Amino acid sequence: MQTATTPFLRQHGEHLAVGGDWTLAMATALAADVSRWRGRLAPQARIDATAIARLDTAGARLLLDLAEAARIDGLDPRQHALLDAVARAALPDTATTRRDNGLLGLLARTGAAVEGIARDAVALLGFIGLVLATLVRSLPDPRRWRPTALAFHLEQTGLDAVPIVVLLNFLVGAVVAFLGATILRDFGAAIYTVELIGYSFLREFGVLLTAILIAGRSGSAFTAQIGSMKAREEVDAIRTLGLDPIEVLVLPRLLALLVAMPLLTALAMLAGIVGGGMVGALSMDISPTLFITRLHELGAARHFWVGMSKAPIFAFLIAAIGCLEGFKVSGSAESVGTHTTSSVVQAIFMAILVDALAAVFFMEIDV
């Protein structure tokens, strides 16, 4: 076993001779000597390292600190290679720390963002195709149905969401009616608040507010549940058992949301209209009979079906995005949180985008 050699630093004129073991074990003693000699060597000075017996990364770091602008001679090839590696590691990584904040940097970041959006859109389309193929393959075979999971998720996404959906739409309906009456009263047209409430909630607000709530509540829950299973390698265990994760994890959630979303939308429309009608009765003397009569004259059934037609589309998109983001989780708690946030943002964005496109479409066909 090689014995340790005490390190030393000796001055020879303008030059400095070093030797012994420059290792981690000797680092504490060497640090004091290095700090004493650093800065005292002339720029043309030379460090003679011929007598260095052993050198590791800690010693190489101290030797570099000692040298500064001085030249180091006498190292064998392995020691010289180690010193070069430590010197390169100590240099700042300009490729990662330098950030171009000019026009080129802006264009690069914009391009990267657009590329990411395109990549996510392609992944979502592929996942939707996979889900539809699995659904078509599973529905004709009752043995592959999962009624217990369907009932559980129907309760979780539908029944448990009723209070918050009804309360939010009731309050928004009351606020919209109050604001509409405040503005229309100046024109002597406060009675048209009924049409404002009916039109807005039956066509837009009821289904859109419900979709946003479900995206934040159920879509995030789908991502967190599947992501946690992915992190614990339960999804791999499902595949090992010969089962299809799409069939086991995605279809029950998708079908439950497809059933729950239209029902929640109908309740949301009713709650919003009730909230607006209550404000009309209390602040504008619009009786419930008059309120219902004007809704009927508005053609409420037509607007109701326009709004309801968007509910299954929103449900499908929210469930697909939530499950897809869950499968993207890499295996850490941080990844679960990141993809849960991404799921909510994407689902709300898609709901608003589809609602805007549907509004333009129904306007063009005069429905």
DSSP class per residue in 198-254: HHHIIIIIHHHHHHHHHIIIIIHHHHHHHHHHHHTTHHHHHHHTT--HIIIIIHHHH
Mean pLDDT of the chain: 85
More reliable by pLDDT, 329 or 9: 329
Question: What local confidence, expressed as pLDDT, does residue 298 receive?
Answer: 80
Instruction: Report the topology of domain 8-95.
Output: Transcription Regulator spoIIAA (3.30.750)
- For residue 107 the two structure tokens come to 């264009």
Confidence of residue 348 (pLDDT cuts 50, 70, 90): very high
Of 102-106, 114-118, 200-204, 347-351, which range is least confident? Answer: 102-106
- Give the pLDDT mean for 250-276: 93
| pLDDT classification of 10: cutoffs 50, 70, 90 | confident
pLDDT value of residue 3: 62
For 103-150, how does the pLDDT look when each residue is reduced to its tens digit (9 = 90+)?
A: 787 888 888 888 988 988 898 899 999 999 999 988 888 888 888 989
Q: How confident is the model at residue 1 (pLDDT cuts 50, 70, 90)?
A: very low
What is the per-residue pLDDT for 320?
93
Q: For residues 307-336, give the mean pLDDT.
A: 89
Please, what is the Cα angle at 349 between 331 and 351, to 5 degrees? 110
Average pLDDT over residues 262-277: 93
3-state secondary structure 11-31: EECCEEEEEEEECHHHHHHHH
Please answer whether residues 236 and 195 qualify as being in contact, where contact means their C-beta atoms are separated by less than 8 angstroms.
Answer: no
Per-residue pLDDT, 94: 46
Tokens of 190: 């406060």
- How far apart CA 199 and CA 59 sit, in angstroms, is 78
- Residue 2's pLDDT band (boundaries 50, 70, 90)? low
Say what angle helices 251-283 and 206-214 make with each other, to 10 degrees.
Answer: 130
Dump pLDDT digits (tens) for 223-257: 999 988 888 888 889 888 888 889 888 999 999 99
User: Is residue 126 within a helix (H) or strand (E), and if so which, with residue range?
Assistant: helix 103-138
pLDDT at 151 exceeding the cut of 80 = yes
> Where are the chain's structural domains?
8-95, 125-364
Is residue 180 scored above 70 in pLDDT?
Answer: yes
The pLDDT of residue 42 is 67
Average pLDDT over residues 195-215: 91
Each residue's pLDDT tens digit, 30-50: 887 777 777 676 666 778 778
pTM of the full structure: 0.70
Cβ count near 367 (within 10 Å): 12
Which range (96-105, 215-224, 274-283, 289-298) has the least confidence? Answer: 96-105
Q: Is the pLDDT of residue 95 over 80?
A: no
pLDDT per residue over 62-79, tens digit each?
Answer: 888 777 656 788 788 888
